[in-house]
Structure 1
Amino acid sequence: MNLFSFKNLSLRTRLLVTMGVVFIPLVVVAIGSGIFLQHAAEQFNRLTEQPVYKLQTTSRLQNQIRSAHALVNNYASTQRYVLREQFKSEAQATENAFVEILAKPFLGPQEYTLLANARREWQDSVVLANRIFTSTAPKAALYQMDQSVNQIMFTLDQIYDAYYSEISAQRSQINEAESRFLLIIAAAIGFGLVSAVAGAMWLARSVLVPLREFEKGMTHFTNDNLTYRLDLNHNDEIGRLARDFNTMAESLMEHKTQLEELSSRDGLTGLYNRREFEDRLREETQRARRYGKSLSVIILDIDHFKNVNDRYGHQAGDETLIAVADLIRLSARPMDAVCRYGGEELAVILPETDASGAAILAERIRASVAESLTITPQGVEIQVTVSIGFAAFPQDGDTGPGLVKAADEALYAAKQEGRNLVRSH
């Protein structure tokens, strides 16, 4: 019975089969255990010497890569040139470690291929690091290097698995050697012991490995990572549980996405709400400060909106507000965040936009609103205008609240000067 077909049996059948092959040798195992114990220990030490060396070398390699990666991240934050020299030293040490382990003759084909792939990824990472050291550390380069280092770590983890598989294979060799030694004493005892070991390994690998996958999945769920999926294609009870687990994860992911979307949107206009505005403004301000990017904020108010509500009713006022929101959304870029700031006040966050760009967009919004009509379901035509104020980072404010305050002051000036105007801080 091969491992694949054994894993397709039910857990109950597997347990019964394994118990059958385990209990038979237990009666006679004690007879030969003392004879071959020392011999088996010597074989194990000899066979595991090379895997232990490879494990230690790979662990050292991972630590050097982490250290070098940390130097690049520190440089991106502090711009200290001494970190470049330290990185060169760490990078050379890492390359030397790759060369050392790849030169060993006892590497298997799979191990050699994985190490060679990891080395090429590391060399690509060194190129990205040099690009970061010779520039202002763009976010794209930092992100690419992070992804590359993560791929290297993943590859080295695969090598660990290959090493452990090698150790398991060597243990099997030891078991076979022990069985051959026992056959000298009694062929029946040796056969029974091999059967017991094989059955225990089959059961452990077919049950414990999937259970570890479930444990990893629950850990990801605990950390609010609902994108993780179990990769268990068994036809037994565990396989069915894994499919149910993945189905549940998909459903939870959809519900979470829907809830996040609902919590960030204004119910009337569909624009981002005040909380989302503040969160995005804080993020964009931090990004602009870190990378030296431009950032502007527009705040606008519908002129005499109270008169619209008083004259035509609140339903007509809602229709007017929705129409103005749609006009702003059409005028803005996909990367801009259009928000309902409060009441009839709307706001737009403009990443990578300076004061002149904000002025152009603000005037386009003002003109499109002034030239448009809102027709209510009752056929009433309503025309409104907007007053707009804008502010740019960092000259008008170097924080999110500072930008909002400056744009609000500009909006107040536009209203004081007659409305239907655009004013800067």
Structure 2
Amino acid sequence: MNVLSLDQLSIRYKLVVLLGLSLGLGLLVSSLVALYSTFAAERQSSLRALHQIAAITSENMRAALAFHDAQSADKMLAALHTNPHIHYAFVENEHGQLLSQYLAPAMPASAAKAWQARIKPLMAPQAGVHEGMERTHHYVLYPITLDDTHLGTLALLADNDAMYAKMRSFMWLQGGASLLIFASLLLLSWRLQLIFTRPMLQLLASMRRIGHSKDYTATLGTLRTDEFGELYRGFNAMLHEIRQRDELLSRLATTDALTGLANRGHALETLQAMATRAQRKHESMGVILLDVDHFKQVNDQHGHPAGDQVLQEIARILQAGIRTYDLAARYGGEEFLLLCDGADLATTTEIAERIRASVASHRFVLAQGPQLQVTVSLGLHVGSARADAAMALIEAADQALYRAKQAGRNRVESA
């Protein structure tokens, strides 16, 4: 079963999901904080109520302790049955001896005895008032004094049922309110995401429409002044640049009619693009300038048609000798330009030597019958430059070409 991931959702649903998760987490944290605060308040309230009962009972218990009147103590403790949450109560005299106790029907005697033994160390005269809360019960140990004389200690044990009942009521109320708030905010977030996603979806629809129709004359109108407005204006600027490029390409013929290679204008445009890319990627590029040796003699001895044939066959050798992403162009007359994209010195030199050897070993069979052997001289330069200074690469290659001719032709020289 394929589970739809967040990446596969539309951006509007992503926003709703993220807002929903944020709201849910915020409500959960606030509910937990409120629940803890309520628990702390109810805990204090329960202990305070038991403390008040202990104070009133202790006030009435002084005489019974002073005269060791167990019967009166029994009557006073028996009055605690009116509070159904008090399960056990007992009072000890100043010697720690049990004077009287009250055991609610719900409290097993063994449990009462165990609790009494457990809290015995806390009932020392100097311990003062002691209170505590456990999972099911809370208690108060209240010393009884008369004129700074310790008469005994009263211990009260009550259940936590009332506190838990209030907590359950609060949880239901808090849960219902949280769900209502979450649903309301989720509905509001759906409306808010439309404000943010509508411009983006409109832009996406326009991009798809223009991409399908290839109509780059279209523009997107907007009055927005925020980031979406900048996005629209940036898209319109991109369309404007595409229109300018298409108009330029429609005016310029990119192919040399004789050789089928790129012409000079297209070669120079490609040079600027390669130079820009090389600068951005921190790479080098290779430029090779090639000149046919003694080409004037071919024209003079065999005629211009023979010279044209030689240029055409050299053009085919160039196309076969470069890489698929390099560019071969007729630079002018018998000069050719090779642009090697992302090439280093070793790669550029290898390409130049391969072309030189291929031309030197090629037999040019003229239409009139005779065969010619033609050589070429090549000058190369490897480097990088800004687009506005790309011609410096060709100038360096041209200087290397000049040295190749001076050194005897049919050779490769590097700038």
- TM-score using structure 1 length: 0.43
Q: Flag the structure with higher helix content.
A: 1
The structure showing larger relative contact order (alpha-carbon pairs under 8 Å, at least 6 residues apart) is 1
Q: Flag the structure with higher strand content.
A: 2
- TM-score using structure 2 length: 0.44
The structure having more radius of gyration, on CA atoms, is 2
